[in-house]
Amino acid sequence: MLVYYLIIAFLIGVVSAFNRNRTARILLLALFMAVQTAMTIYAYLHLNMEDFGYFKYDAIGVIFMCVLTLLSYTTIYHSYIYLRHRQDGSRSQSLYFGALIMLIIAMTCVYVASHIGLMWVFIELTTLSVAVLIYHERTPLALEATWKYVFVCSIGITITFIGIILLSFGVGETETINFSFTPLQVQLLNVNPSWLKLSFLFIIIGFCTKMGLFPMHTAAIDAHTVAPPPISAFISTTLMNVGFIAIFRTFTIFAHTSIHPWMSQVLLWCGLISIIVSAAYLLKVKHMKRMSAYSSIEHMGLAAIGLASGGIGYFAAILHMVLHSFVKASVFYQIDQCHRNFGTYIISETGNYFNRNRPGAMVFLLVLIGIIAMPPSGLFVTEFWIFKALFTSSHFFILFFALLFLSVTIFALAKNFLYILFNQTKDLLPAKEKIVTSETYSQYFLLALIFYFGINPPVQMINLIQEAVKNLP
C-alpha cells in the first residue's frame, strides 16, 4: 500500500508544482488529501503490519500520522487564505503547494519507517521540502532564515549519521549489524557501553534539530519568524513530531541496554535546559511568532523530561506532543489573522484585539488556557503526569527547577497575550483588514480537541499510546 501511496502522492506533488490552473490546483489538493486520508486509515486498520520491508505501521507512527493528516486539512485551508491575502501569482502558489505536499509525504514516511537509515533519509527530505516554504516570501530575512535552517539541520543530520556509523562499529565488533529497529534492539544488548553512549549522544544531538531541543534548538526560531504562518504551524507541530518520534525510537532501541539510566539523565538535562532557555527568551520576546516558537521549545523540553522519567511519563510525553500540536497550530493560524488586522507581528504595536476581532480574541484566550496548562486543558493532565513521573523517579532537582521556570514562562505568555487582547493604545491605527468569522472555526475545533482529550480521551487513542510504550522498561 505504501508504495502506491508514494507513487501517487509524489506524482500529485510534481504536477501541483508545475500546474498553473486554479481549478486544477484545488482538484489536485483534494485528490492528495483523499490519498493521505486513505493511507492513514489503512495504517490504523493494519496496526503492526510491515510494508515493503522497511516500513511498519506501529502504534506511535499511526498516532502521529493521524495528527499530520488532520493538520494537513487545516494547514491547506489556512494556506489558501494566506496566499489569497498576499495575492501571490499562480507560479508562486503552485510551488508552495507542491513543496507542502512533498513535506507531508516525507513526514509520513518518517512516521512509519522501521529502518534507522531510511528514517534518516526522509528526515533530511523534510528539511529540503520545508526550506522552499520558509523562503516563500522571497525577502532578505527569509533567505537568511532558510539558509540558517538548512545549514543547522544539515549539520544535525550529519551528527546523527556519525552516531549511526559509531553504532555500526560497536555492533560490528560481535556481529553484522541490521539497522531495522526490532533486530537492532536485540543486537545492542551485546555492545560495549562506551560505544552505546557515544553513538546515542551523537544520534540524539542530531535529532534535537528537528524536535527543537537544547543544544540544537536554534534551528527553527528564525524559520518561524519569516515563514508563512500556516507553515510555522507545521514547523511547530508535525515537524517537531518528526524529531520526537526519531528520539523516541532511538530511546526505545537503547532502553534495554545498560546505559538506560545514563541516557535518561541526558534527556532530562536537555529537557530542563530547553525550558530554561525558553523562559529566558520569552521574558524579552517582541515578535508574536517568535513567542510561539520559544513556547514550543518549552513544551519539547517537557516531552523529553516525560520520556526520560519513565512510568506514566512515557504515556504523558506522547499525549503531550499530540495536544501540543493542536494548540500550537491554532495559535499560528490566529497569528496570521492578527497580523492581517494590525499589519504587524510586533506585540507592542498591537492591542485591544478583543474589540477588533472578538472571535479571534476568544481563540487567543483559549490558546492561553491551553498552552499554560490551565484546567481543563488536556496539557494540564499531561504535565501533571510528567511531574508525577519525576517525583516517583526521585528527580527532585529537575522537578523543582522545571516548575520554577515554567512559572516564569506562564507569566511571560500571559503578559503578552493579555497585552494583545486588552491593551488600550490611544493612537492605535484602524484595522488593516476585517477578519471573516468563519476563518476561526478550524481553530475552535482544534482547541475543542485539547479540552475534550483532557477530560475524556478516546479509548482508541489510549490503546494506541499504551501499545506504543509497552516495550519500554
Q: What is the pLDDT of residues 36-65, one digit of tens each?
A: 999 999 999 999 898 878 899 999 999 999
pLDDT at res. 434: 78
- Whether pLDDT at 177 is above 80: no
Dist. CA 434–CA 431, nearest whole Å: 7
7-37 core/surface letters (b: 16 or more CB in 10 A; e: else): ebbeebbebbbebeeeeebeebbeebbebbe
**Which H helix or E strand runs over 100?**
helix 90-112
pLDDT at res. 173: 58
pLDDT at res. 67: 95
Identify the CA nearest to 301 among candidates 260, 271, 268, 281: 271
Greater model confidence, 221 or 106? 106
Identify the weakest region by mean pLDDT among 99-103, 177-181, 204-208. 177-181
pLDDT band at 344 (very low <50, low <70, confident <90, very high): confident
- Whether pLDDT at 175 is above 80: no
Assigned C-alpha cell, 203: 544520534
| pLDDT tens column, 133-169 | 998 888 888 888 888 888 888 898 899 999 988 888 8
pLDDT at res. 7: 93
Dist. CA 313–CA 291, nearest whole Å: 26
Percent of the chain scoring above 70 in pLDDT: 98
- Whether pLDDT at 174 is above 70: no
pLDDT at res. 427: 54
Q: What mean pLDDT do residues 25-29 have?
A: 93
Identify the CA nearest to 112 among candidates 167, 42, 163: 42
- Whether pLDDT at 383 is above 90: yes
Q: What mean pLDDT do residues 23-44 have?
A: 94
pLDDT at res. 89: 82
pLDDT at res. 273: 94
Identify the CA nearest to 119 among candidates 308, 253, 267, 256: 253
**Which H helix or E strand runs over 285?**
none
Cis omega (within 30 of 0) for bond into 215: yes
Percent of the chain scoring above 90 in pLDDT: 59
Dist. CA 26–CA 24, nearest whole Å: 5
Count how many residues are written for the chain. Answer: 473
Q: What mean pLDDT do residues 3-10 have?
A: 92
CA-to-CA separations, 416 to 5, 44, 226, 290, 404, in angstroms, rounded: 43, 40, 20, 12, 19
| pLDDT tens column, 224-267 | 888 899 999 998 899 999 999 999 999 999 988 889 999 999 99
pLDDT at res. 141: 86
pLDDT band at 428 (very low <50, low <70, confident <90, very high): low
- Whether pLDDT at 431 is above 70: no
Identify the CA nearest to 108 among candidates 248, 242, 300, 244: 242
User: What's the pTM?
Assistant: 0.94
> Please, what is the average pLDDT of the chain?
90
| pLDDT tens column, 448-466 | 999 998 888 889 999 999 9
Q: Are 9 and 40 in contact (CB under 8 A)?
A: no
- Whether pLDDT at 176 is above 90: no
